[in-house]
Amino acid sequence: MEKRKTVVLGVTGSIAAYKAAEITSRLMKLNVDVRVIQTEGGAQFITPLTLETLSRAPVYGDQFSRETPYDVEHIALAKLADVFLVAPATANFIAKAANGVADDLLTTTYLATLAPVLIAPAMNVNMLTHPATEQNIRVLKERGVLFVEPEEGLLACGDVGRGRLAPVESIVSAVIALLEPKQDLAGKRILVTAGPTKESIDPVRFLSNHSSGKMGFSLAKAAAKRGAKVTLITGPVSLTTPAGVERVSITSSAELCEAVESRFSGCDALIMAAAPADFTVRNSAEHKIKKNGNDGLTLELVPTQDILKKVGQQKKHQLVMGFAAETQNMEENALAKLEKKNLDFIAANDVAAKDRGFAVDTNEITLYSRSGKKEQSGLKAKDEIADWLLDRLSAAWAEQQK
Ligand code: PMT
């Protein structure tokens, strides 16, 4: 019989701590064991008795308590965890985790665990958007910690903005996705592109854009986790190749075109999250162009190959998903690209809006399908957006099987 899975749930001092009761109850009903660690602040907002009753287990709080059966409690709990969830997570917990501060049972267990870590923040909007908190979240994300993003709305303090704990069902689904990774893409070969291209002006200068590669890397990582054989063609970015993914590095739009075209016939789906240059420099200089007094410099730009349009014309069994990076008239422009490039899906993102598009960790997609369907993802971490998009691809394959 398969071993029951255990979630170690950290509850910190936020007014949303009462929702930890519902999270515990929902997980227990799904046959997942829950072991709760409460910080001192957490215990001010919800009684250990409530969480003990719902989890049918002792609630851990004091690191040096002698009442529990474990000798080295934080290590035992760290090893017990199949997922380490902190919900709600305060700015204080996030700051400690980002800086390796281990001054209570929750933070010591966090440092000791090898389980996937999921954090659901809840706090005042100004605390969330403070540069210190933003940087701490960024650091944790770069280390592979996963987040269930807080929502916008009326906060307990009376302010309106982002900071409300994500809905319990989103938190529970994110836990379940970690406990039971779907293998719905097993057997599929997926080509993902990511990042910018660099178009050379001379040996020291280039034209490029703000793409960080995060969206494409999230897609490659999620597809590989779900069992697909993934090739990630990426422009110059400073991101680690996700486990199990084959990486192909390119620099220019022409190289990206060649890399995609040569692999297209062997793939089942192409997801084009890269931001290739639409123009390149005609006759880039062999040597560094010298500044000539106050004279300006005129560059002659010529269009690059529209890669999606080219492979869209060669499409046979493949599903092709493009992205549309728009700053205005999103629907009209995205639908025109869907048509012109012969795509199955186009994922439109508003790259002028805060927290969306280039170089941030979150995104919001409006997905248009060839069938005429229009769906809205909501603002989510790029890792979650990746799974949301792959769900649609997976559903399209399931539909083809019927
Ligand atoms: O990398 P991040 O920092 O995470 O940012 C993510 C992102 C904003 C780059 C990503 O979400 C995104 O929108 N990627 C597409 C960027 C883009 O080039 O958009 P576009 O609307 O200009 O192009 C439409 C589609 O055609 C895209 O799928 C693009 O990859 C493709 N294209 C573009 C130019 C070209 N010469 N050939 C192409 O195939």
- DSSP-assigned letter for residue 114: -
pLDDT at residue 108 greater than cutoff 70? yes
pLDDT value, residue 381: 87
Residue whose CA is closest, atom 27 of ligand 1?
Answer: 323
pLDDT value, residue 66: 54
In the residue annotation, 267 being an active-site residue is answered as no
pLDDT at residue 44 greater than cutoff 70? yes
Q: pLDDT tier at 7 (50, 70, 90 boundaries)?
A: very high
Strands 269-272 and 319-326: parallel
Which atom of ligand 1 sits closest to the CA of residue 193?
A: 30
Q: pLDDT tier at 1 (50, 70, 90 boundaries)?
A: very low
Mean pLDDT of 369-392: 94
Residue whose CA is closest, atom 35 of ligand 1?
Answer: 306
Give residue-wise pLDDT tens across range 244-289. Answer: 999 999 999 999 999 999 999 999 999 999 999 999 999 999 999 9
Q: Which residues line ligand 1 (CB under 6 A)?
A: 195, 211-215, 253, 272-276, 278, 304, 306-308, 322-325, 337, 349, 351, 357-359
Q: pLDDT tier at 154 (50, 70, 90 boundaries)?
A: confident
Among candidate residues 72, 132, 154, 157, the one labeled active-site is 157
pTM score, two decimals?
A: 0.77
Tell me the CA–centroid distance for residue 199 and ligand 1, in Å. 15
pLDDT at residue 397 greater than cutoff 80? yes
Mean pLDDT of 65-86: 79
Q: Let me know: does 282 contact 254? Beta carbons within 8 Å.
A: no
Distances in whole angstroms, Cα of residue 176 to Cα of each of 171, 179, 193, 242 = 9, 5, 28, 21
Q: Let me know: does 106 contact 59? Beta carbons within 8 Å.
A: no
**Amino acid, single-letter form, for residue 171:** I
Instruction: Please list, in sequence order, all residues whose beta carbon lies within 8 angstroms of the beta carbon of residue 267, skipping any fewer than 6 positions away.
Output: 189, 190, 191, 231, 318
What average pLDDT does the structure give for the chain?
94
Mean pLDDT of 53-71: 76
Q: pLDDT tier at 161 (50, 70, 90 boundaries)?
A: confident
Mean pLDDT of 312-339: 97
pLDDT at residue 71 greater than cutoff 60? no
pLDDT at residue 216 greater than cutoff 90? yes
pLDDT value, residue 72: 61
Q: Let me know: does 127 contact 163? Beta carbons within 8 Å.
A: yes
- DSSP-assigned letter for residue 167: P
- From the list 394, 372, 398, 376, the residue with the least C-alpha distance to 385 is 376
pLDDT value, residue 143: 87
Give residue-wise pLDDT tens across range 115-134. Answer: 999 999 999 999 999 999 99
> What is the Cα–Cα distance from 223 to 207, expressed in whole angstroms?
31
